Amino acid sequence: MSKTKVAVVFGSRSTEHDISIITAIASVIKPLELSATYEPIPIYIDKQGRWYSHPKLKDIALYTTGQIDKFLTKQKPLALQIGDGLKIFWPSLKPKSVKLDVVFPATHGTHGEDGELMGLLEMANVAYVGCNMPSSVIAMDKALAKIVAGHAGITTSKFVWFYSRDFISDNQEVLANLSVLTYPLFVKPVHLGSSIAISRVVNAKELLNAIEVAAHYDDKIIVEEAVKNLIEVTVPIIGNEEPKAAFVEQPVLRSGSMFDFDSKYLRQGKKGQAGAKTATGAQGYSKLPAELPKDLYEKAEQTAINTYKAIGCSGIARVDLLIDSKAKKVYFNEVNPLPGSLYAHNWKKSGMSNLKLVETLIELAQDRFKRKQQLTTSFKTTYLAQY
């Protein structure tokens, strides 16, 4: 029997383009090549948004050596056909095509993790891995995610959001709305990740500067109160109707700095804190499991699962929490619908190999797809006859 064709989509027009290449090749394609059931087909979206597929695109060296641009000049971008599932075409005199059984988005950030790709896959009516379109859209807007979680009774830090254009046209009104918040505050563009343009501010002058910076990056901004006595944890979750958590994981911070791009992605392989049980993953190193009192650990786990359900996630996501260790309060911070490297190191420690993880995700995608096909999508009306 031929293997199920799983298209692994990565790259795209995103600040996290390069991270996506690693997630796709190291955490999805490589393990899938060992699968007896599935066959990975790489689909690389370049920084201009063109789609390509070629067996060589599975080779990490093509990207690490910078040969990718030259390679692509000799390739023709794919054509897509949507309708009865998703078909990819290699244009030439004798066009070749493949119908995809499942799509595995391995894209991070804009034009991939934010719901856009999921919308295309919904239109094509093809099974795909991970969060669906609406949950991805909610997750990729820090304000929207907090509103939805808050509505479900999940604690978030007190926040105010506004459109950048409203601040630019009348900053007095926006500043007046912000006066309900107590310093120190965090200012964030709602759609970005990797700590880009995020500031911690302690007075009105800093606040004003930070908003100006954030407004350069995004059309929507959130300002929120800082959580005190901070312990940050992150909880990978898997599942559709009955989501399950991996270990609550505690990223180890560099003293005095935020969990920024540098510490998330560029500091792998360096030693963690002496004596701590640490693990190195795509996001630097961390305590795995987090060193928390049992009650707080369980509260973190439950908060993460509740948030996952409230936002409507499916397949996989990673929920980030901020804990006030003195007040023993757990705050929802943000949810990543497509965690870098799928957080495979944590799943491995939780007893799931990388291959088992990707195979499970594909099965969850197929299950969700089957259920959706059972929903009624047509409804007989006399509307046209009356026209």
Ligand X SMILES: Nc1ncnc2c1ncn2[C@@H]1O[C@H](COP(=O)(O)OP(=O)(O)O)[C@@H](O)[C@H]1O
Residue 230 interface partner, choices ligand X, Mg ion, none, CB cut-off 5-8 Å depending on type: ligand X
Q: How far is the CB of 185 from ligand X (least distance, A)?
A: 8
Residue 232 interface partner, choices ligand X, Mg ion, none, CB cut-off 5-8 Å depending on type: ligand X
Residue 184: cis peptide before it, omega within 30 degrees of 0: yes
334 is an interface residue for ligand X by CB under 6 A: yes
Query: Could you tell me the end-to-end alpha-carbon distance of the chain, in angstroms, rounded to an integer?
Result: 51
Residue 114 interface partner, choices ligand X, Mg ion, none, CB cut-off 5-8 Å depending on type: none
For residues 352 and 323, the answer to whether their CB atoms sit within 8 Å is no
Q: Which of 9, 131, 139, 227 binds ligand X (CB under 6 A)?
A: 227
Site string for ligand X, 244-263 (x = CB under 6 A): --------------xx----
Q: How far is the CB of 232 from ligand X (least distance, A)?
A: 5
In DSSP notation, 23-53 reads IIIIIIIHHHTT-SSEEEEEEEE-TTS-EE-
Q: How many CB atoms lie within 10 A of CB 33?
A: 12
Q: How far is the CB of 115 from ligand X (least distance, A)?
A: 16
**Can you say how many angstroms the Cα of residue 367 is from the centroid of all Cα atoms in its chain?**
21
Q: How far is the CB of 292 from ligand X (least distance, A)?
A: 17
Residue 249 interface partner, choices ligand X, Mg ion, none, CB cut-off 5-8 Å depending on type: none
Separation of alpha carbons 99 and 87, rounded Å: 4
266 is an interface residue for ligand X by CB under 6 A: no
Q: Which residue is nearest to ligand X (CB)?
A: 259
Q: Which stretch binds ligand X (CB under 6 A): 89-97, 102-110, 203-211, 225-233?
A: 225-233
**Interior angle at CA 131, CA 125 and CA 132, nearest 5:** 35
Q: Which of 38, 186, 308, 347 binds ligand X (CB under 6 A)?
A: 186
Place of tokens 């790259």: 11
Phi, psi of 117 (to 5 degrees): -65, -40
Q: Which is nearer to ligand X, 109 or 239 (CB)?
A: 109
Distances in Å between the alpha carbon of 180 and those of 15, 176, 193, 224, 264? 33, 8, 26, 10, 32
Q: How far is the CB of 122 from ligand X (least distance, A)?
A: 25
Q: Which is nearer to ligand X, 131 or 322 (CB)?
A: 322
Q: Which is nearer to Mg ion, 43 or 185 (CB)?
A: 185
Q: Cβ contacts of residue 368 below 8 Å, gap of 6+?
A: 127, 132, 240, 314, 315
114 is an interface residue for ligand X by CB under 6 A: no
161 is an interface residue for ligand X by CB under 6 A: no
Q: Cβ contacts of residue 32 below 8 Å, gap of 6+?
A: 6, 8, 38, 39, 40, 355, 358
For residues 82 and 123, the answer to whether their CB atoms sit within 8 Å is yes
230 is an interface residue for ligand X by CB under 6 A: yes
Q: How far is the CB of 261 from ligand X (least distance, A)?
A: 8
Q: Applying CB under 5 A, which residues contact Mg ion? A: 320
Q: Applying CB under 6 A, which residues contact ligand X? A: 157, 186, 188, 193-195, 198, 224, 226-227, 230, 232, 258-259, 320, 322, 333-334
